[in-house]
Amino acid sequence: MRKVRVAIVGLGFGAEFIPIYQKHPQAECVAVCQRNADKLAKVATEFGVAKTYTDYAKMLEDPEIDAVHINSPITDHAPMTIEALKAGKHAACTVPMAVTTDECIQIAELRDSTGLVYMMMETAVFTREFFYVLDLVKKGEIGKIQFLRGSHQQNMSLPGWPEYWYGFPPMHYATHAVSPLLCLAQAECESVVCQGSGRIRDEYVKPYNSPFAVESALLKLKDSDLACEVTRSLFDTIRQYRESFDVYGSNLSFEWEQCFRDGMVVFSGFEDLKRVDVPDYGHLLPKEIAPFTGGGVYDDKDNAHTSFIQGAGHGGSHPHLAHEFVSAILQGRDSLVDAARAANWTMVGICAHQSAMAGGKRIEVPRVDTSSGTGAPWF
d(CA 352, CA 213): 14
What does each of the 379 residues of the chain score in pLDDT, given as a tens digit? 689 999 999 999 999 999 999 999 999 999 999 999 999 999 999 999 999 999 999 999 999 999 999 999 999 999 999 999 999 999 999 999 999 999 999 999 999 999 999 999 999 999 999 999 999 999 999 999 999 999 999 999 988 999 999 999 999 999 999 999 999 999 999 999 999 999 999 999 999 999 999 999 999 999 999 999 999 999 999 999 999 999 999 999 999 999 999 999 999 988 899 999 999 999 999 999 999 998 754 344 343 343 344 445 789 999 999 999 999 999 999 999 999 999 999 999 999 999 999 999 999 999 998 765 566 777 7
pLDDT at 269: 87
Counted domains in the chain: 1
Is residue 212 within 8 Å of 234, Cβ to Cβ? no
Question: Would you list the DSSP string of 313-324?
Answer: HHHHTHHHHHHH
Range of the domain at 234: 124-280+337-364
Cis peptide before 96 (omega within 30 of 0): yes
Would you say residue 173 lies in a domain?
A: yes
Would you say residue 249 lies in a domain?
A: yes
d(CA 55, CA 33): 7
- Residue 373 CA to its chain's centroid (Å): 19
pLDDT at 240: 95
Is residue 73 within 8 Å of 332, Cβ to Cβ? no
311 phi/psi in degrees, rounded to 5: -65, -45
pLDDT at 282: 95
Query: The pTM is what?
Result: 0.94
d(CA 42, CA 347): 37
Task: Say which DSSP state 376 is in.
Answer: S
Is residue 94 within 8 Å of 32, Cβ to Cβ? no
Would you say residue 30 lies in a domain?
A: no
d(CA 344, CA 182): 9
d(CA 98, CA 104): 6
Would you say residue 85 lies in a domain?
A: no
Choose among 105, 237, 98, 74: nearest CA to 168: 74
Task: Say which DSSP state 161 is in.
Answer: B
Would you say residue 237 lies in a domain?
A: yes
H or E stretch including 173? none
d(CA 282, CA 295): 7
Would you say residue 138 lies in a domain?
A: yes
Q: Read off the CATH number of the domain in which 343 is found.
A: 3.30.360.10
d(CA 74, CA 71): 8
Provide the edge-to-edge strand list for the sheet that holds 118-120. 51-53, 27-33, 4-9, 67-70, 90-93, 118-120
d(CA 219, CA 75): 25
Would you say residue 131 lies in a domain?
A: yes
Would you say residue 220 lies in a domain?
A: yes
